Chain A
Amino acid sequence: DIQMTQSPSTLSASVGDRVTITCRASQSISSWLAWYQQKPGKAPKLLIYKASSLESGVPSRFSGSGSGTEFTLTISSLQPDDFATYYCQQYNSYSLTFGGGTKVEIK
């Protein structure tokens, strides 16, 4: 299986901050990476696919970058609605795997 490692596991930030979350793959996955946002008690919501493509309806303050083994999700100006847990997922291999998650908390 391809292992996905996210960092940090928890991030404290304020409204208006620029936030960056990293996801590393144990082997190259080209650009086959998605990012999700999950709020407590809710299903994950797709934000980004193919590493940098913004899902329809997702605010443009979210962006993704990277290829190969290292990827980032950036929120350009953190909004109150963005406090949540974020997961990456690789879909390069037969066995789909997720990162462990990054919780974005209010500072």
Chain B
Amino acid sequence: QLQLQESGPGLVKPSETLSLTCTVSGGSISSSSYYWGWIRQPPGKGLEWIGSIYYSGSTYYNPSLKSRVTISVDTSKNQFSLKLSSVTAADTAVYYCAKQLERLYYFDYWGQGTLVTVSS
């Protein structure tokens, strides 16, 4: 059974860079056609897609966040990562990693999520 697990600091200071890693177990991150994405949810609010990556490193991002987002992949560790720069309180959210069957697709497996708070 495929499992995804987010990890990283729960507290980030304003103007700094938020960094999270998603570790995939029970399957290979290099599986053909799968994309791996990040989605966030501010407390009490809805879901926002951040971006997605293919094991080859091909990425696509939410245009509203593109200037601050970098998603990368490490196939040797079966992990992919998120960096969000110049964070503000508005970036406080639960961050989820998830799997897509194809590039422009829905998310069929999700991690449990990790809360990241932006505060000094």
Contact = CB atoms under 8 A, between A and B. Distances in A.
Interface of A: 1, 32, 34, 36, 42-46, 49, 55, 87, 89, 91-101
B112 A43 contact: yes
Given A1-B63, A98-B47, A98-B49, A34 B104 contact: no
A92 B64 CA distance: 17
- The 7 A-B residue pairs whose C-beta atoms are closest, nearest first, are A34-B106, A43-B110, A96-B49, A98-B47, A100-B46, A101-B46, A49-B106
Contact of B104 (A43, A55, A87, A91): A91
A44 B110 contact: yes
Interface of B: 37, 46-49, 52, 60, 62-64, 96, 98, 104-108, 110-113
A43 B113 contact: yes
Contacts, number: 54
B104 A46 contact: no
A18 to B, nearest CB: 25
Contacts of A34: 106-107
Prevailing SS type, chain A contact patch: loop
Most buried by B among A1, A42, A43, A100: A43
10 contacts: A36-B107, A43-B110, A43-B113, A44-B47, A46-B108, A49-B108, A91-B105, A93-B104, A98-B49, A101-B46
